[in-house]
Chains A and B, each alone.
Chain A
Amino acid sequence: GAVVSQHPSWVICKSGTSVKIECRSLDFQATTMFWYRQFPKQSLMLMATSNEGSKATYEQGVEKDKFLINHASLTLSTLTVTSAHPEDSSFYICSARDLRSPWGQETQYFGPGTRLLVL
């Protein structure tokens, strides 16, 4: 199946610094990528939808100035957590939708996730 990678897999940073997380689709092109956040024992919460070449669409309650998303190419989207604080510590997961997938088939492939710990 299609592969989506994330880098880094985990990061520890000091409060106030910015952290960039990369999401890449390795063997397919993705016009749309999604960023999720998961707290322990909770569901995956969609943060934003990232469209190649255009601005991301943020879910209600997600600060777009805090979570900067850039989808510069069909295989790469980045999430930057700006001025990170301890409450931003979480598990961030991206997914990518395969352009070739027709509607009705499995469309989203998930990355392995990035664990962020802000001290």
Chain B
Amino acid sequence: DQQVKQNSPSLSVQEGRISILNCDYTNSMFDYFLWYKKYPAEGPTFLISISSIKDKNEDGRFTVFLNKSAKHLSLHIVPSQPGDSAVYFCAAELSSGSNYKLTFGKGTLLTVNP
């Protein structure tokens, strides 16, 4: 049973526009959420995170929104740049009694066209 879902395997946007990447989760016990960016044959790079006590966190061009009632989070990138093209993974963490284990979604391939 997949606890973290990224239903869009790919997304294509024009440079300068907004990219919106979505993520849904099923386990209401998750209390910390992260977004990672990954290039082929490399490890994931941390982008931004949000605690379950917040509904928004912003860092430069990246904003993460959390809707706990809908068990949904999204990553907004604006303006999108060609260098943002990569696979984006959503991850959820259960901090208590789990050794901070991360559960990942399958990823969304973002392509930003010049």
B108 to chain A, nearest CB (A): 11
B68 to chain A, nearest CB (A): 16
Q: How big is chain A's contact interface, by range?
A: 20 to 34
Given known A32-B99, A51-B99, A104-B32, contact A43–B44 (CB-CB < 8 A): no
Interface contact tally, CB-CB below 8 A: 57
A104 to chain B, nearest CB (A): 5
The size of the chain B interface, using a CB distance under 8 A, is: 24
B103 within 8 A of A: yes
- Closest chain A residue to B46, Cβ basis: A106
Contact B107 A32 (CB under 8 A): no
Main secondary structure of the interface of A (DSSP, over half): strand
A112 within 8 A of B: yes
A and B contact pairs by CB, cutoff 8 A, 25 listed: A1-B46, A4-B43, A6-B43, A32-B99, A32-B100, A41-B9, A43-B104, A43-B105, A43-B106, A44-B44, A44-B89, A45-B104, A49-B101, A97-B100, A103-B95, A104-B51, A106-B46, A107-B93, A107-B100, A110-B36, A110-B43, A110-B45, A113-B41, A113-B42, A113-B43
Q: Which residue numbers of B lie inside 8 Å of A, CB to CB?
A: 9, 32, 34, 36, 41-46, 49, 51, 89, 93, 95, 99-107
